[in-house]
Amino acid sequence: MPATPEVSSHGSRILIRGAAVATVDPTLGDLERADILIEGDRIVAIEALSRETGESILNSAGTDAGGTADVIDATEMIAMPGMVDTHRHTWQAQLRGILADGTIPDYLRGMRLQMAIRYRPEDMYVGNYAGALDAINSGVTSVVDYCHNILDPECAHGAVTGLLDAGVRGLYGHGMTPVTSNTWSESAGGREGVADPAAFEPRARLAREIREQYFRDETQPLRFGIAPQELPIAPVADVAAEFALARELGARMTMHANQLAVRQLFQDVKVLAAHGLLGPDLLLVHCSFNTPEEWELLRGTGTTVSICAETEMQMGMGFPAIREATEYTPGPGLGIDCVSGDSGDLLSHARLVLQATRWRDDSAGYEKLVAPQEMRWTTKDALRWVTQNGAVAAGIGDEVGSLTPGKRADVVLLDMSGISQAGWNRRDPTGMAIAQANSGNVDTVLIDGRVVKRHGRLVHVDVDAALARTRASHDYLYEQMDRHGGFIPQPPIDIPLYRERA
């Protein structure tokens, strides 16, 4: 399905000319007009343009970049680092929007207990392929894929292949949950004729097989990770065994933690700390109901946190804990989480989180009718959440996350030439990207110096073929849904946790 890129490939030279640049590099900062020179898969130079001549040092120093490079005219564009989504259930892409008004019990009953078990290997491939293309199309060049729907080995192979064919960077989070035997309900569920490998050894053997087959080349953009089971549905001894497997394989880990409004039952961070499982190779997701003690337990461990505000605020998973994650961890990243409910627009997501966090900090004053006097949270914070912070959380902070010479050339160009951006402030490209842009502005995307989107269209794949395959998977899953009683069959499956604590 992948096709030949329109502009460049590895080993080429590209000059991005005249962009307003949000580098997210603390030394370079924001540049009103600058050229970016890319050679092969690396950024080799970023130089500001002279206000008098319009020339950059790249030209005046005699590099002759314009004569030997593919030139991208970015005079009405913002250049920024490719974004990093630190938590996405990519496999759900062909069920986009099915949960637009759903709560956590709706998600568990509809997605985890009804739709997930209907997936074939083809559907896992399509979900991850289309979902990763959606990410790239929206300017997200790296994804932490939380693949917790491995019904059988073929589903795992399909999921990995989908990500690889899409060309996205990031982490494939191999789910360790035995889907059809370890669920949130008293009903085992499951596909007929499929033996769920509930025992640890078959699941560990599959994880090793996937790593060995697809991830021997550690220089490729996609890396292998492990998504251990969630503590509310698995004994801590089982989870600890999965952590040990991940560390044996040198795999980063990512797992849901403290996203339930029932912390009197589950204090996931406290349990992980008590068993010596916290560390810089662990990315926790949500943490919206951490206790103060648990935030202190995270301090100094290097454990990172992904905040997924749209899901958290919609589904009853608490308020996005940006303030706490900023204070107690290396810095929060942001995740789209479930496109079955939310869009894949990470720029708009960052804006939502920024404004919600500003409101939260100011709310104590509102109760006293005291107006805020300063802006604590800025657009620079927000852009860092979806770039450098996200890259650190994904374990690739030394390679991507900022436009820094020497780093890999994951670059996004936002087109600001339209009427909705007329009068844009090119002296503050960071503020413009967060406060004024969205995924619809993404004109050009480079991953590893390879142009994968140009003039608003993906150029490295057959988009029409991808759409046709996604429609076929969507139609199959909806047919299965209708045949088996709808999205949430009635009467609803019992979920004791929510029944007892509602």
As to burial, measured by CB atoms within 10 angstroms (0-12 exposed, 13-18 middle, 19+ buried), residue 230 is: buried
Q: Which of 8-22, 105-119, 241-255, 371-385 has the lowest mean pLDDT?
A: 8-22
Average pLDDT of the chain to the nearest whole number: 91
pLDDT at 260: 81
pLDDT of residue 496: 74
Task: Confirm if 107 and 489 have CB atoms less than 8 A apart.
Answer: no
- Tell me what the mean pLDDT of segment 477-484 comes to: 98
Give pLDDT tens digits for 411-425.
999 999 999 999 999
Residue entry with tokens 């996931």:
268
- Indicate the pTM of the whole model: 0.94
At 52, list the tokens: 């008098």
Residue 339: phi and psi, rounded to 5, are -75, -5
Q: Which residue's entry shows tokens 């160009």? A: 413
- Mean pLDDT for 263-281 is 89
Does 197 have pLDDT greater than 90? no
* Residue that has been written with the tokens 């007329």 in this structure: 422
Instruction: Compute the chain's Rg from CA coordinates.
Output: 23
Percent of the chain with pLDDT over 90: 81
Q: How far apart are CA 394 and CA 142, in angstroms?
A: 8
Euclidean distance between CA atoms 372 and 276, whole angstroms: 42
> Helix crossing, 200-214 with 153-166: angle to 10°?
30
For the stretch 436-455, pLDDT in tens is: 999 999 999 999 999 999 99
pLDDT at residue 2 is higher than 70: no
> Minimal CA–CA distance to 391: which of 400, 382, 404?
400
pLDDT surpassing 60 at residue 130: yes
pLDDT above 50: residue 265: yes
Q: pLDDT-based confidence at 499, cuts 50/70/90?
A: low
Q: Does residue 388 register a pLDDT over 50?
A: yes
pLDDT digits (tens, 9 = 90+) for 10-26: 458 999 999 999 999 99
- In angstroms, rounded to a whole number, what is the distance separating the alpha carbons of residues 22 and 32? 9
Q: How confident is the model at residue 53 (pLDDT cuts 50, 70, 90)?
A: low
Residue 263 has pLDDT above 90, yes or no: no
Mean pLDDT of 465-484: 98
pLDDT band (50, 70, 90) for residue 264 = low
Main-chain phi, psi angles of 257, to 5 degrees: -150, 130
For residue range 330-386, what is the model confidence (pLDDT) as tens digits?
999 999 999 999 999 999 999 999 999 999 999 989 889 998 889 999 999 999 999
Q: Decide: 356 and 315 in contact? Cβ < 8 Å.
A: no
pLDDT of residue 12: 87
Name residues whose C-beta falls within 8 Å of residue 205's C-beta, 6 or more positions apart in sequence.
none
Half-sphere exposure of 124 (CA within 13 A, CB side): 26
Q: Is the pLDDT of residue 188 over 50?
A: no
219 or 192, greater pLDDT: 219
- Is the pLDDT score of 69 beyond 60? yes
Residue written as token pair 């030439």? 417
pLDDT of residue 189 exceeding 50: no
DSSP character at residue 402: S
Tracing tokens 């092969």 back to the chain, one arrives at 40
pLDDT of residue 61: 42
Backbone angles phi, psi at 254, to 5 degrees: -145, 135
| pLDDT attached to residue 23 | 98
Domains delineated in the chain:
13-81+402-458 (2.30.40.10), 83-385 (3.20.20.140)
Where residue 247 falls among pLDDT bands split at 50, 70, 90?
very high
- Provide the 3-class DSSP secondary structure of residue 73: strand
Amino acid at 496: P
Residue 5 clears pLDDT 80, i.e. is over it = no
State phi, psi for 172 to the nearest 5 degrees. Answer: -85, 110
User: Which neighbouring-strand residues pair with 88?
Assistant: 145, 337
Task: Identify the pLDDT of residue 379.
Answer: 98
The whole-number pLDDT of residue 338 equals 95
